[in-house]
Amino acid sequence: MVAGIEVIVLARETGSMMKEIIYGRCGLSRGLLRRMKSGGGVFLNDRPAYITQRVQAGDRIWLEFADSPTALPAEKMPLQILYEDEWLLVVDKPPCIAVHPTGRFTDGTLVNGLAYHWESIGLRSKVRLVHRLDYETSGTVLVAKEPFTHRKLIEQLAAGSLRRHYLAAVTGSLPAAAGVINAPIGRSTDPEEPPLKRIVRTDGKVAVTRYRVLRDYRTFALVEMCLETGRTHQIRVHLETVGCALVGDELYGVRSPMIGRQALHAWFIEFEHPRTERLVKVRSVLPVDMRALLRAESRKG
């Protein structure tokens, strides 16, 4: 697949410079334009062109992006792909697998598996994650196959129009059956705390989480949580600030004998497809360990 955008000039755009269409109707960023200049190109009716050239109705503009294969090693692994097309995919991340290599996890990550998938379908492109999940969190991860789609999805994420819903087993008493937690999040400055620990702080970044209690169990509640922002550990920090915690969350609560990780699953994602402009909704079923947790708790009493 060659990454690019095709634009047919409209009658009302006759006489316009190409850059007016590129920055206007296409919504192309200057960063992507620089990417074209460093290996891609701008073409008018299949010929190299300058963005200052004027166009006529019916002209074909082709914007081609430079790209290169990911430098990360490709590793064959089972992937549960929930949705895939020419431009993006949604993959179901299992619990206790890293999304991308870090100092702690140098291989065997989701990105390594996606690099192998890219090779298997003949895609010479970087693996572009739109968002990430914690190591223990399971569920939907959105990945772009080319730079334009990635940029547009990142813009939706920043604007809050890319919706991510989680299912969480939560201990403690939430303030209400449904509500909003609005509290800025930043790094902890306590040298005794783990480096990844986040806290609510007045000079932190804006963070908003909506929640709704779906069912009360004996020792926890099943809660749907929707992120309006995407801060590190947002759900976990926001639960802590109202006196709650995820079942099994050792960093912000306590480990649980009922499940070997934090009980958090990204079950639903919704976004506007950057290419087709259609609304895409993708769901993931609860993994085995969280289903077992709910069954075990429902049998108590």
The closest alpha carbon to 29, from 132, 162, 154, belongs to 154
DSSP annotation string for the chain: ---EEEEEPPGGGTT-BHHHHHHTTS---HHHHHHHHTT-EEEETTEE--TT-B--TT-EEEEE------SSPP-----EEEEE-SSEEEEEEPSS--SS--SS--SS-HHHHHHHHHHHTT--S--EESS---SS-EEEEEEESSHHHHHHHHHHHHHT-SEEEEEEEEES--SSSEEEEE--EEE---TTS-TT-EEE-TTSB--EEEEEEEEE-SS-EEEEEEESS--TTHHHHHHHHTT-EETT-TTTS--BTTBSS--EEEEEEEEE-TTT--EEEEE-PPPHHHHHHHHHHHT--
| Identity at 97, one-letter amino acid code | I
134 catalytic? Reply is yes
Provide φ and ψ at 270, rounded to 5°. Answer: -140, 130
Catalytic residue (one of 59, 67, 92, 134):
134
The CA–CA distances, whole Å, from 116 to 32, 41, 70, 245 equal 26, 28, 10, 36
- The catalytic site residues sit at 134
